């Protein structure tokens, strides 16, 4: 069965520090991978996506993610966190053909001064 | 270019009632998917509409039904509401096999 695991429920980082959010997936087909961000009471905004090709993908707001097939991982990184990055982050997996997305339970990011 | 829009923003219903949520996809998108996000959880897929037909369905009971109109907008209907149906309902649109873009959601509270 398809599944996404985000091991960290809540992470707190200092403003200006680096960030890595973990995501592991289980998917039978070639995965399409996504990271979305959700601010309180809001919908989901797409940060970045991986369909194929270069395993290091760049997204909006200075985020990047690396696809590692051998580890079934797609971790999200940012070199320097800003206070406005505080939000809930969701990793999702799908496949070609508009298959439904399967989401992880999310990681809540808090940013302290 | 407007993104995905949903209405209403919030609503409160009583157990046993019926509710209809609405979604307008992003311009140029022909596929609409609906997701339910319970508090503290990731979104869960309800169903997807393309060419006015339900193409795929998640593990939700028949109380959840939908419709897609010729202009690609969509409705989600839930009958016989239960307390457990309280959630944020998200609509996502896409074009072909590309990425899905989400609307702001409708917060449904069942009392």
- Interchain contact, B42 vs A43, CB within 8 Å: no
Q: Does residue B2 surpass a pLDDT of 90?
A: no
Shortest Cα–Cα distance, B65 to chain A (Å): 17
Of the partner residues B6, B101, B103, the one whose CB lies closest to the CB of residue A46: B101
**CA closest to B48 among chain A residues:** A100
pLDDT digits 0-9 by tens, A17-49? 999 999 999 987 788 999 999 998 788 999 999
Do the Cβ atoms of A100 and B56 come within 8 Å? yes
pLDDT confidence band for A54 (50 / 70 / 90): confident
Are A90 and B42 in contact (CB < 8 Å)?
yes
Predicted confidence at residue B1, as pLDDT, reads 64
Confidence check: pLDDT of A97 > 80: no
Given an 8 Å threshold on Cβ–Cβ distance, is A103 in contact with B104? no
Q: How many helices (H) and strands (E) does chain B have?
A: 0, 11
Percent of chain B having pLDDT more than 90?
Answer: 91
Is the per-residue pLDDT at A98 higher than 80? no
**What integer pLDDT is reported at residue B20 of this predicted model?**
98
Cβ atoms of A21 and A107 within 8 Å: the answer is yes
Q: Which pLDDT score is estimated for B108?
A: 98
Beta-carbon pairs below 8 A across chains A and B: 58
Which residues in chain A have their CB less than 8 angstroms from residue B101's CB? 46
Mean pLDDT to the nearest integer, A44-60: 92
Q: Are strands A19-21 and A24-26 parallel, antiparallel or unpaired?
A: unpaired
pLDDT at B69 exceeding the cut of 80: yes
- Per the CB < 8 Å rule, is A101 touching B45? yes
Which of the four pLDDT bands, split at 50, 70 and 90, describes residue B97? low
Contact residues, chain A, for B39 at CB < 8 Å:
none
Cβ-nearest to A100 among B58, B96, B103: B58
Of B6, B40, B90, the CB nearest to A44: B90
**Coil/strand/helix, residue B40:** coil
Q: DSSP string of A43-106?
A: --EEEEEE-SS-SEEE-GGG-EEEEEGGGTEEEEEESS--GGG-EEEEEEEE-TTTPPPEE---
Residue A96 has pLDDT above 90, yes or no: no
Interface with B, mutate which of A25, A44, A52 (most B CBs under 10 A): A44
């Amino acid at each position: 069965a398809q599944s996404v695991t985000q091991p960290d429920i809540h992470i707190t980082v200092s403003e200006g520090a680096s960030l890595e959010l973990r995501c592991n997936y289980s998917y039978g087909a070639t995965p399409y991978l996504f990271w979305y961000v959700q601010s309180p009471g809001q919908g989901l905004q797409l940060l970045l996506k991986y369909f194929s090709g270069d395993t290091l993908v760049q997204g909006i707001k200075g985020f990047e993610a690396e696809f590692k097939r051998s580890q079934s991982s797609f971790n999200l990184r940012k070199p320097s966190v800003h206070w406005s990055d505080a939000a809930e982050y969701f990793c999702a997996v799908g496949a070609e053909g508009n298959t439904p997305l399967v989401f992880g339970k999310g990681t809540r990011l808090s940013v302290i001064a | 270019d407007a993104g995905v829009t949903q209405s209403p923003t919030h609503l409160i219903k009583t157990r046993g009632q019926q509710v209809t949520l609405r979604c307008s996809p992003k311009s140029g998108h022909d596929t609409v998917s609906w997701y339910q996000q319970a508090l503290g959880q990731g979104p869960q897929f309800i169903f997807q509409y393309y060419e006015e037909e339900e193409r795929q369905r998640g593990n939700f009971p028949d109380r959840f039904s939908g419709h897609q109109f010729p202009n690609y907008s969509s409705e989600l209907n839930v009958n016989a509401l239960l307390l457990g149906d309280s959630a944020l309902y998200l609509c996502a649109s896409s074009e072909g096999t590309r990425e899905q873009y989400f609307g702001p959601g409708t917060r449904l509270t069942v009392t």
